[in-house]
Structure 1
């Protein structure tokens, strides 16, 4: 596997890095840059998104023919890492979850009409989107536990009833994918429906308070009481919901890993600058062996996370689903992010625990990494099941011919 970036990806990476350094990082220290939920201020976001588009860095993950930059997954990995060196980065480049995964899956499996109506406004940055799968009664890591159901309303439409929660961005989203049960078949019982926020038959019950900073629109609990969706707005087909979910979640999980390595790097950058300046007991902190052990371990874990993330990205570029590789990256990148932010706070001392740097923001954000898009324990189960099926071939090498 050659992880050398192609010329286009490297040029975009350098462009993203320059934009993050010159425009985004300086804004993090200004309280006016934030809204009431610790996101970037919406008006500022509009300005920055216009600048990103003008710089040719918009929607790196989408094909050029729909207004993106057409990067492979390996190029995305390098660029996403750079953009999330700023806590404002991903949303400015239209590469934040859940829009990121929603755009990619619609582009892959949507009809021409669905792409034009549902996907393109998201690609252009005109609306946000949400993916409504997780439920209070258990559906999340296991979609098979979905209780929300859809029943026939007519020959060409369905009515949806049920409850979802922790639906990211729902408070601001206009376009939604909702997973609902259409039969009791264990493999073909789920269906993915597309709808617009203006349609009747659903409502937001509450914006759930969370430990960390929120995305725009928060994480909401929503109910469905007869939302009617036409057959033409079914994604793929009736009973294809589980298949669609698998297509969506692999790449979407990996983009989390790409972003997390960048955030972890930034946390260490902030800590390293401090320990090179601060003296204690006659030495720079950076010269103390105990400190070197801490930063060395954190840097090593981040580098491992980058390598396994890039390996999974490379396999996706080869047309592989890369399920075990994505699960491996998801576990390692989540742990590496938490270690990097925790290490940074420890080295910064009281300053790290304060809001004088963005590290405490990162630390609160990092705790969710071991939960979102499948808890780490679930991904370990995935890996264990691959090992049981493949035996010694699990550790096989790729060969030519």
Structure 2
């Protein structure tokens, strides 16, 4: 069985759990090592024991650099007893640095794969900080066996213009992981109040303000259910703000994929808008909520000019908000009828489920590609689109 050493930035990240599940479903044996945010250190993820490299703090880039340097000096101790892997998969830039260090420990013949699913705003700065970070990424990625990213826009807008990598690329979208046939989708009745679901990383203060103002103006015709993990660094007063809104309700975290059918089946629309890193990462990404919502029939609401809106417009589905104002949102959603909602939902249900869901065959292809068992020819932007 192929052995993957997976180095991650946060052992508690739900996306890490999903990737570990994909690797296992693809036939790999996984060793999982990484940092953790907060005090909790999981003993295992998807039944894979964890190796903790220490704690890091969200948003504190200098602290994370220090933690990486410290961990690099003691990496041999952390990985003592770990069998030589067939491939090292490094999630994010700081883990790529440790991945290269681990390759020197295990032998130069072990390939390193760089997994980059977000472009941090610091990487886009035009000053010496941004230049230094991009130079560091180019240097660390020059010998990478493969680059994995999740959106064609990351290639088109960042990796290619800045010439961050010249190696093979694999597009692995943030699809809903569906290893077994999903249960029938029980749709919520199409009637008042119309329910919008905002699920996942809750970090966008502008979205919270927009939805608060819109639902108040609609006087109960629309409600918003929030589920996931609030980013308290960006929204320190999240709980108080939501509790102060009559038509917003936070229902806590959820398990992915176990609860996805239930939470999306309880809403009419999926909020697929994020202004957190406006003009960069938020404009380019194709987030989990896009695929999850469409897989379970929730009509996505996207912001015009984003990669999400491009995907929706290409397929003739979803709703596109032209500007981020309550007035524009009212023009888009106000006067919603059961007939209009049924037509919007019907267009989504008519799409091929494989567009939104990741199968076991795709997991097997992922493992084959990262371990060099299959072709690693670059993905062209036209094909990725």
Q: What TM-score, normalized by structure 2, do the two folds share?
A: 0.25
Q: Normalized per residue, which structure has more strand?
A: 2
Q: What TM-score, normalized by structure 1, do the two folds share?
A: 0.24
Q: Normalized per residue, which structure has more helix?
A: 1
